[in-house]
């Protein structure tokens, strides 16, 4: 079964806030998400106040063994003004994009960038038609790649889909028009929430992401539609949450964490929206048992606990596909030992033959010298000691060879023990 990354969204954008989820659940997140707009109002002279990637924050996470998920919107959050696709594609913001690309290229470490998430929802400031969105996406990605920012993992993320044929912009048969193409997307994703009693009804996780008779009139098959659109791409549940009104939130979380790796195998990372917003009590708490339910579900399922950080300079791959195989390092060590073993074995065989010939010669010389005069007898004793030294060297070589075999057997045992977890 696949290993999954797990994490949460933290607001405001501080390292202290990012550790809150770790504290209440008792688990270290794999992925920490923050939300950023590209512009925050204007400077005193009226020029745009552009935002910059939080390199210090991302570095602090990296040093703790956590990946950064940068959710990034093309708009001015302060003035509530959207950057249009026409302006972006015409190059109005190219200087800004190139500067950010160079910054990330110099940083080198891999990160997720979720650009203009929930683009298919009219509530999104950057909502537009499919062709305009695709042109915007490709323009930005091309600029970043041209500046060498190949360490970015581009995450394409619509909102949960409405049923096919729906008049909603989120209808499942409309989302394909927004897909930039496999060459421009590293991971797909989607957002989905159970608003419980604040919405139409309490919705179990499976029904929330794949249409069922319970909700078929207003919830489409989000997972199935995206999987069919991009079957080779790993998928992320980039935002999800459960409101406690109308049901048992702890049981909902337990069910979600159990069914995700079984029923939805393309999902390789999940990120809980641990932020209070719009009257919805999404955050997990120690006081109501939801934090404990999350921790128990993570520990019980195939969710990564500790893992090696991915290599610099390239997009993040699913755990078992590139950098999370818990036996990868052992396998590499074993391959080196196998090579060394073969070399030493050949050398040992050759040395044994040489030593055998030397011993024959020494034995013959010793026999001849024993019958000689006293001077020769002394020489024979010296030669005998030399013969013993050669024999000792042969024994030492054989011992080294045996120790190498013991190390190999130990590593093979570790590999066998780890195999059922892959």
3-state class (DSSP) for residue 168: coil
Within this chain, do residues 69 and 153 fall inside the same structural domain, yes or no?
A: yes
Within this chain, do residues 112 and 213 fall inside the same structural domain, yes or no?
A: yes
The pLDDT tens digits for 178-191 are 999 999 999 999 99
Instruction: Return the pLDDT at 383.
Output: 59
132: domain CATH number is: 3.20.20.80
Within this chain, do residues 335 and 317 fall inside the same structural domain, yes or no?
A: no
Instruction: Return the pLDDT at 417.
Output: 61
Nearest CA to 330 out of 418, 406, 402, 400 is that of 418
Domain's final residue, options 324, 340, 357: 324
Domain's final residue, options 324, 343, 372: 324
Instruction: Return the pLDDT at 326.
Output: 45
Domain's final residue, options 324, 359, 383: 324
Instruction: Return the pLDDT at 323.
Output: 46
What phi and psi, each to the nearest 5 degrees, are found at residue 362? -65, -40
Instruction: Return the pLDDT at 165.
Output: 94
Instruction: Return the pLDDT at 159.
Output: 97
Range of the structural domain that residue 367 is part of: 329-421
Instruction: Return the pLDDT at 325.
Output: 47
Within this chain, do residues 26 and 91 fall inside the same structural domain, yes or no?
A: yes
Within this chain, do residues 386 and 261 fall inside the same structural domain, yes or no?
A: no
Instruction: Return the pLDDT at 421.
Output: 46
Within this chain, do residues 32 and 132 fall inside the same structural domain, yes or no?
A: yes
Q: Kindly state the tokens that stand for 197.
A: 């009693």
Nearest CA to 184 out of 160, 157, 156, 159 is that of 156
Q: Domain total for the chain?
A: 2
One pLDDT digit (tens) per residue for the chain, 422 residues: 788 999 999 776 678 888 889 999 999 999 999 999 999 999 999 999 999 999 999 999 999 999 999 999 999 999 999 999 999 999 999 999 999 999 999 999 999 999 999 999 999 999 999 999 999 999 999 999 999 999 999 999 999 999 999 999 999 999 999 999 999 999 999 999 999 877 778 999 999 999 888 788 889 999 999 999 999 999 999 999 999 999 999 999 999 999 999 999 999 999 999 998 878 899 999 899 999 999 999 999 999 987 889 999 999 999 865 444 445 444 555 565 666 677 667 666 666 666 666 666 666 666 665 555 444 444 556 656 666 765 666 666 666 667 667 767 776 766 666 554 44
Within this chain, do residues 28 and 118 fall inside the same structural domain, yes or no?
A: yes
**Cβ-based neighbour number of residue 288 at 10 Å:** 14
Within this chain, do residues 229 and 365 fall inside the same structural domain, yes or no?
A: no
Q: How far apart are CA 189 and CA 160, in angstroms?
A: 9
Within this chain, do residues 170 and 198 fall inside the same structural domain, yes or no?
A: yes
Within this chain, do residues 369 and 304 fall inside the same structural domain, yes or no?
A: no
Q: How far apart are CA 224 and CA 211, in angstroms?
A: 9
Within this chain, do residues 258 and 377 fall inside the same structural domain, yes or no?
A: no
Within this chain, do residues 233 and 219 fall inside the same structural domain, yes or no?
A: yes
Instruction: Return the pLDDT at 280.
Output: 85
Nearest CA to 156 out of 110, 127, 114 is that of 114
CB of 383 closer than 8 Å to CB of 361: no
The pLDDT tens digits for 214-237 are 788 889 999 999 999 999 999 999
The pLDDT tens digits for 75-106 are 999 999 999 999 999 999 999 999 999 999 99
């Amino acid at each position: 079964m696949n290993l999954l990354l797990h994490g949460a969204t933290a607001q405001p954008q501080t390292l202290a806030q990012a550790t809150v989820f770790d504290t209440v659940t008792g688990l270290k997140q794999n992925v920490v998400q923050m939300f950023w707009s590209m512009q925050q109002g204007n400077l005193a002279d009226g020029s745009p106040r552009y935002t910059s990637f939080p390199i210090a924050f991302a570095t602090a996470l990296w040093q703790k063994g956590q990946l950064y998920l940068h959710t990034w919107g093309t708009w001015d959050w302060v003035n509530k003004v959207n950057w249009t696709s026409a302006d972006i594609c015409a190059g109005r913001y190219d200087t800004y994009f190139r500067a950010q690309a160079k910054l990330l290229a110099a940083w080198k470490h891999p990160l997720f960038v979720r650009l203009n998430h929930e683009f298919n929802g009219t509530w999104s400031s950057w909502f537009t038609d499919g062709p305009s969105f695709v042109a915007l996406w490709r323009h930005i990605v091309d600029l970043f790649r041209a500046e060498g920012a190949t360490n970015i993992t581009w995450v394409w993320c619509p909102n949960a889909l409405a049923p096919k044929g729906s008049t909603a912009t989120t209808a499942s048969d409309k989302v394909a028009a927004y897909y930039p193409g496999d060459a421009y997307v590293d991971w797909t994703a989607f957002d989905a929430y159970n608003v419980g009693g604040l919405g139409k009804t309490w919705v179990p996780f499976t029904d929330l992401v794949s249409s069922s008779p319970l909700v078929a009139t207003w919830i489409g098959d989000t997972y199935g539609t995206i999987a069919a659109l991009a079957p080779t791409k790993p998928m992320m549940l980039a935002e999800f949450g459960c409101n406690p009104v109308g049901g048992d939130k702890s049981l909902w979380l337990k069910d979600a964490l159990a069914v995700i790796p079984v029923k939805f195998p393309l999902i390789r990372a999940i990120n809980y929206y641990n932020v209070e917003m719009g009257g919805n009590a999404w955050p997990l708490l120690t006081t109501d048992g939801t934090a404990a339910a999350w921790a128990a579900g993570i520990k019980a399922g195939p969710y990564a606990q500790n893992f090696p950080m991915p290599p610099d300079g390239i997009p993040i791959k699913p755990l078992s596909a590139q950098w999370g195989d818990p036996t990868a390092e052992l396998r590499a060590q074993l391959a080196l030992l196998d090579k060394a073993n073969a070399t030493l074995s050949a050398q040992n065989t050759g040395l044994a033959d040489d030593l055998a010939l030397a011993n024959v010669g020494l034995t013959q010389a010793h026999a001849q010298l024993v019958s000689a005069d006293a001077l020769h007898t002394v020489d024979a004793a010296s030669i005998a000691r030399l013969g013993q030294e050669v024999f000792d060297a042969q024994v030492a070589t054989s011992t080294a060879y045996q120790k190498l075999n013991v190390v190999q057997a130990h590593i093979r045992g570790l590999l066998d023990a780890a195999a059922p977890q892959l």
